[in-house]
């Protein structure tokens, strides 16, 4: 293709200018890759932090509300009241668990009984949020075993796991007995089997784990469970899966996104900001290409004029400039992707004293194909204006100048 | 001899606001195959305008032009460009060679750009033409490394590349020193004599005109024919 030969020759005719132009494009692309990898990395880290220690989908019984019943007579209205004698529970939780087990998206299931209680030691009383689980599924939702700092995670028949802050407040250590008093008015002496530290004060001070078998008589729930917690292989699919479960079970199903709308809003705002920065970096790249090619077209007016005088087609002249834009865009984007990847990979290795990353950057999330395609396409579009003006140049006027 | 160019009733006027300037008024012109003709006139007489009209670089206000048997004043812009590429050759005062290309590439450029590729046959033809104009030892030199006279000889070779029916030269020696100008004129005469190429040379230099077989003087917008 002769137009490509001419375009390449034009670019090589002024290596310093071409190198500067490509460097400008590469820098813009590097900035794009860096911002994308950083924002994606931040979103991944925040999502992982939020979803690592909690379930992705929660199932519980719908809240019952008073409803108006169909009237038998026009002037009589009756209302079905909410029973205060029945606990909110999932009574037939077996089929629901079976349904969940059949779903390939699901990675872990934890039927639970949640309730409130107090730990009493002498005159000291501490309120508790109790989570009763199957001992075998202790780590299914949040990894507790690895966070045990005293005793072990074996719940047994009368064991309880408490957080480090609670243990400190009550002066408890592993192996000690403690009085457990539920909000149902049942007292029982339990043994502190293990003490965990998650680093989250709310958990370390207020949460305790029991086996579901131990909890049933204490929380007066002989059959059902209060909630079923589910982990998915991909937390991103939680919202859609929750909708599916809502239809399939009739239960109240909440995804982790619905429980963390503030986080979702923050991630959205962050993504929007990133998009704006990406757009501006691309625009600056494209303006650079358009202005450089316009200058080139102006500098080569005489040559373009002679081409026109010799009857060289306008589309050939336009193609020479569009191909210059294409080459600059492709080479600049290619180099920018490589330097962006190298920069992000290097930044990902930098850690603080506590071992955490300086920047939550994920090099693989740089959207390399997108930025390469956008830059190349943009470079071609940016070259259209100088290409058109070159192609429309009046040969006679250009030669006479 | 057959007519290569026949121009009849060429009018050309330029409008600047309400003011209309008539540059050419009913110019008639005929060139026969193999002629070497000088187009003379004082500065501003309209001779360059007439040359541009014949070279299909300008559209006349009125008139009829036939080149190599084809009516060309009615052609579209694309058709005019194609005609220029295939049937006309141009030599300008300034060579306007492409500085990033060798002498051979410059000569073959108009043909290659139209074909979309530089073929071996094009290269061969360009090299033969460069040999013909005495630049056998400069074929692969970049245009920037050639002297002014050599560049103008490359421009002549480029004008001959597509075997044009008519070669239009606008002050072809205007930017050259006397020695180089003589060499270029010798070359044009030689090409005219040996290849029977038809030249229309626009000049205000009486010495160049004296070497042409026929002179056409443009004065007050009209062309007067003078036999040499």
Question: Which tens digit of pLDDT belongs to each residue from A205-231?
Answer: 999 999 999 999 998 888 889 999 999
Distance separating alpha carbons of residues B23 and B51, to the nearest angstrom: 13
Q: What is each CA distance from B48 to A254, B78, B80, B217, B218, in whole angstroms? A: 84, 23, 18, 12, 10
Collect all residues with Cβ–Cβ distance below 8 Å to A249 and sequence separation of at least 6: A59, A96, A99
Angle at A242 between CA A48 and CA A252, to 5 degrees: 115
Rounded to the nearest 5°, which phi and psi values hold at A311? 80, 15
Distance separating alpha carbons of residues B203 and B176, to the nearest angstrom: 13
Rg of chain A taking only CA atoms, in angstroms: 33
pLDDT (tens digit per residue) in B37-86: 988 888 878 888 888 999 999 899 999 999 988 899 889 988 999 999 98
Distance separating alpha carbons of residues A358 and A356, to the nearest angstrom: 7
Q: What is the mean pLDDT of residues A137-148?
A: 87
β-bridge pairing B199-203 and B166-170:
parallel
For residue B55, list chain A residues with Cβ-Cβ distance below 8 A: 309
For residue B58, list chain A residues with Cβ-Cβ distance below 8 A: 396
Burial class (CB in 10 A: 0-12, 13-18, 19+), A172: buried
Could you report how far apart the first and last alpha carbons of chain A are, in Å?
30
Distance separating alpha carbons of residues A312 and A308, to the nearest angstrom: 5
- Of A376, A279, A384, A364, nearest to A333 by C-alpha is A376
CB contact under 8 A, B96 and A302: yes
Closest Cα in chain B, distance from residue A372 (Å): 28
Q: Could you tell me where the beta strands, DSSP code E, fall in chain B?
A: 3-16, 19-32, 36-40, 62-67, 70-71, 88-91, 166-170, 199-203, 214-219, 222-227
CB contact under 8 A, B118 and A303: no
CATH 3.40.50.1240 fits B3-227, yes or no: no
For residue A401, list chain B residues with Cβ-Cβ distance below 8 A: none
Q: What is each CA distance from A141 to A52, A107, A230, A237, A252, in whole angstroms? A: 8, 10, 7, 17, 19
Tell me whether B117 touches chain A (CB under 8 Å): yes
Closest Cβ opposite residue B117 in set A1, A305, A309: A1
For residue B100, list chain A residues with Cβ-Cβ distance below 8 A: 9-10, 12-13
* Residues of chain B where predicted confidence (pLDDT) is lower than 50: 228
pLDDT for the residue numbered A86? 62
CB contact under 8 A, A2 and B115: yes
pLDDT for the residue numbered A133? 92
Closest Cβ opposite residue B90 in set A1, A12, A309: A309
pLDDT for the residue numbered A252? 93
Rounded to the nearest 5°, which phi and psi values hold at A137? -105, 25
Half-sphere exposure of A69 (CA within 13 A, CB side): 10
CB contact under 8 A, B100 and A10: yes
Sequence spans of domains, chain B = 3-227
Collect all residues with Cβ–Cβ distance below 8 Å to A14 and sequence separation of at least 6: none
Distance separating alpha carbons of residues A121 and A115, to the nearest angstrom: 20
CB contact under 8 A, B81 and A2: no
Tell me whether B114 touches chain A (CB under 8 Å): yes
Burial class (CB in 10 A: 0-12, 13-18, 19+), B143: buried
Closest Cα in chain A, distance from residue B93 (Å): 9
- Token pair, residue A122, equals 């002498």
Closest Cβ opposite residue B82 in set A305, A309, A311: A311
Distance separating alpha carbons of residues A252 and A58, to the nearest angstrom: 8
Which residues on adjacent β-strands are paired with residue A57? A230, A255
pLDDT for the residue numbered A401? 65
Q: What is each CA distance from A230 to A94, A245, A252, A375, B113, in whole angstroms? A: 14, 11, 13, 42, 67
pLDDT over 70 at A85, yes or no: no
CB contact under 8 A, A313 and B78: yes
Tell me whether B90 touches chain A (CB under 8 Å): yes
Q: What is each CA distance from A274 to A37, A44, A373, in whole angstroms? A: 10, 15, 18
Distance separating alpha carbons of residues B80 and B116, to the nearest angstrom: 19
**H or E stretch at A113:** strand A106-121
For residues B228 and B34, the answer to whether their CB atoms sit within 8 Å is: no
Tell me whether B100 touches chain A (CB under 8 Å): yes
For residue A301, list chain B residues with Cβ-Cβ distance below 8 A: none
pLDDT (tens digit per residue) in A31-46: 989 999 998 888 888 8
β-bridge pairing A159-163 and A187-196:
parallel
For residues A22 and A331, the answer to whether their CB atoms sit within 8 Å is: yes
List % helix, strand, coil for chain A (3-state, nearest 5). Answer: 55, 20, 25
Closest Cβ opposite residue A310 in set B99, B101, B110: B110
- State the ipTM, two decimals: 0.85
pLDDT (tens digit per residue) in A151-172: 988 888 889 999 999 999 999 9
Closest Cα in chain B, distance from residue A327 (Å): 18
- Token pair, residue B95, equals 């060579």
CB contact under 8 A, A303 and B98: yes
CB contact under 8 A, B110 and A303: no
CB contact under 8 A, A312 and B98: no
pLDDT over 70 at A344, yes or no: yes
Residue of A nearest to B116 (CA): A2
CB contact under 8 A, B90 and A307: no
For residue A321, list chain B residues with Cβ-Cβ distance below 8 A: none
Q: What is each CA distance from A188 to A156, A182, B192, in whole angstroms? A: 15, 9, 122
Q: Quote the mean pLDDT of chain A.
A: 88
For residues A336 and A27, the answer to whether their CB atoms sit within 8 Å is: yes
CB contact under 8 A, B90 and A13: no
Distance separating alpha carbons of residues B27 and B39, to the nearest angstrom: 12
pLDDT for the residue numbered B228? 45
Residue of B nearest to A8 (CA): B100
pLDDT band for A95, please (50, 70, 90 cuts). Answer: very high
């Amino acid at each position: 293709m002769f137009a490509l030969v001419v375009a390449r020759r034009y670019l090589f005719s002024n290596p310093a200018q071409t190198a500067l132009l490509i460097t400008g494009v590469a820098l813009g692309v590097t900035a794009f890759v860096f911002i994308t990898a950083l924002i994606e990395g931040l979103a991944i880290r925040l999502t992982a932090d939020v979803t690592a220690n909690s379930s992705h989908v929660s199932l519980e019984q719908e809240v019952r509300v008073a409803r108006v019943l169909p009237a038998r007579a026009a002037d009589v209205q009756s209302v079905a009241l909410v029973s205060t004698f029945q606990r909110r529970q999932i009574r037939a939780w077996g089929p629901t668990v079976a349904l969940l087990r059949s779903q390939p998206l699901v990675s872990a299931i934890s039927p639970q009984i949640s309730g409130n209680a107090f730990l009493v030691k002498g005159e000291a009383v501490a309120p508790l949020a109790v989570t009763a689980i199957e001992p075998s599924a202790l780590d299914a939702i949040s990894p507790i075993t690895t966070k045990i700092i005293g005793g072990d995670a074996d719940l047994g028949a009368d064991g309880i796991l408490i957080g480090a802050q609670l243990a400190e407040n009550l002066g408890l250590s592993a192996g000690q007995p403690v009085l457990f008093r539920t909000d149902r008015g049942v007292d029982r002496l339990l043994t502190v089997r293990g003490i965990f530290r998650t680093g989250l004060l709310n958990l370390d001070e207020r949460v305790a784990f029991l086996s579901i078998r131990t909890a049933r008589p204490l929380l007066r729930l002989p059959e059902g469970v209060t909630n079923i917690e589910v982990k998915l292989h991909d937390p991103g699919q939680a919202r859609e899966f929750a909708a599916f479960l809502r239809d399939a079970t009739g239960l109240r199903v909440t995804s982790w996104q619905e429980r963390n709308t503030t986080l979702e809003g923050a991630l959205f705002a962050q993504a929007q900001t990133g998009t704006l920065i990406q757009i501006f970096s691309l625009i600056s790249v494209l303006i650079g290409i358009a202005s450089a090619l316009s200058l080139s077209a102006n500098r080569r007016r005489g040559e373009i004029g002679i081409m026109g005088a010799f009857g060289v087609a306008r589309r050939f002249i336009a193609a020479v400039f569009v191909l210059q834009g294409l080459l600059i865009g492709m080479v600049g984007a290619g180099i920018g992707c490589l330097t962006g990847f190298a920069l992000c990979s290097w930044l990902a290795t930098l850690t603080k004293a506590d071992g955490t990353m300086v920047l939550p950057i994920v090099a693989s999330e740089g959207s390399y194909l997108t930025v390469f395609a956008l830059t190349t396409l943009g470079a071609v579009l940016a070259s259209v204006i100088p290409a058109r003006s070159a192609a429309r140049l009046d040969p006679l006027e250009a030669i006479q100048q | 001899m057959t007519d290569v160019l026949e121009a009849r009733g060429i009018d050309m006027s330029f409008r600047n606001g309400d003011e209309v300037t008539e540059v050419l008024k009913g110019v008639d012109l005929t060139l026969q195959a193999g002629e070497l003709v000088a187009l003379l006139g004082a500065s501003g007489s309209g001779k360059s305008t007439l040359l541009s009209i014949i070279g299909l670089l300008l559209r006349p206000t009125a008139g009829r032009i036939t080149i190599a048997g084809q009516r060309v004043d009615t052609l579209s812009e694309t058709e005019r460009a194609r005609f220029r590429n295939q049937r006309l050759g141009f030599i300008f005062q300034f060579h306007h060679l492409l500085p990033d290309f060798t002498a051979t590439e410059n000569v073959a450029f108009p043909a290659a750009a139209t074909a979309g590729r530089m073929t071996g046959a094009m290269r061969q033809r360009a090299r033969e033409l460069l040999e013909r104009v005495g630049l056998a030892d400069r074929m692969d030199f970049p245009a920037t490394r050639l002297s002014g006279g050599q560049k103008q000889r490359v421009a002549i070779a480029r004008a001959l590349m597509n075997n044009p029916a008519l070669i239009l030269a606008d002050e072809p020696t205007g930017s050259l020193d006397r020695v180089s100008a003589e060499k270029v004129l010798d070359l044009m005469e030689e090409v005219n004599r040996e290849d029977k190429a038809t030249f229309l040379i626009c000049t205000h230099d009486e010495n160049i005109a004296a070497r042409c077989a026929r002179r056409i003087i443009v004065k007050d917008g009209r062309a007067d024919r003078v036999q040499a």
